[in-house]
Amino acid sequence: MTQKKIMLVDDSNMMRLIVRNMLASDPNFIITASVDNGKQALNELAHDQPDLIFLDLEMPEMDGIEFLRAGRAKTNAKIVVLSSIVSAGSPQAAQARSLGADAIISKPSGAVSFDLQDTRGSELFGTMYRLLGMGVPAVA
């Protein structure tokens, strides 16, 4: 199977590292871009088309909502909002969905969630596999 290309968009270097380390456990995925904000993500889309984008909502320069407004038409990538300000049924989640987000996963313990693997790992991998039509994850 060809590796699926992933873009990480989060202003926290630590959060991008946490997600990168999680994904390193699954050989089906490769991180092709890791950027600080939506503006940088738009620039990356000019020369890299990921299969899936993990998108934070709270970022400087261009937040995740603005990225969805501007970027949804520029990519066919599945977009998973991974943010500390969304929860099921929240206004932010509804807005992100209306702008084209394919899934919403809340960070379990704030902007930098060191417990992401333990508390949301299965959900995160399950969502990725489902959205990318890959069956059932081998790892979580």
Q: What is the pLDDT of residues 54-82, one digit of tens each?
A: 999 989 999 999 999 999 899 999 999 99
Instruction: Write down the pLDDT at residue 114.
Output: 62
Model pTM above 0.85: yes
- Kindly give the parts of the chain with pLDDT less than 50: 140
Q: One-letter amino acid identity for 2? A: T
Which pLDDT value is given to residue 139?
Answer: 58
Q: Given this model, what pLDDT does residue 49 score?
A: 94
* Secondary structure (H, E, C), 107-122: CCCCCCCCCHHHHHHH
Cα angle for residues 123, 7, 119 (degrees, 5° grid): 20
Q: Strands across the sheet with 29-35, in order? A: 29-35, 4-9, 52-55, 78-83, 103-106
Q: What's the pLDDT at 136?
A: 76
The whole-number pLDDT of residue 45 equals: 95
Residues 8, 16: contact at Cβ < 8 Å? Answer: yes
| Percent of the chain's residues with pLDDT above 90 | 66
Distance of alpha carbon 25 from alpha carbon 44, whole angstroms? 25
Q: Which domains does the chain have, with CATH numbers?
A: 4-131 (3.40.50.2300)
Look at residue 120 in the predicted model and tell me its pLDDT.
77
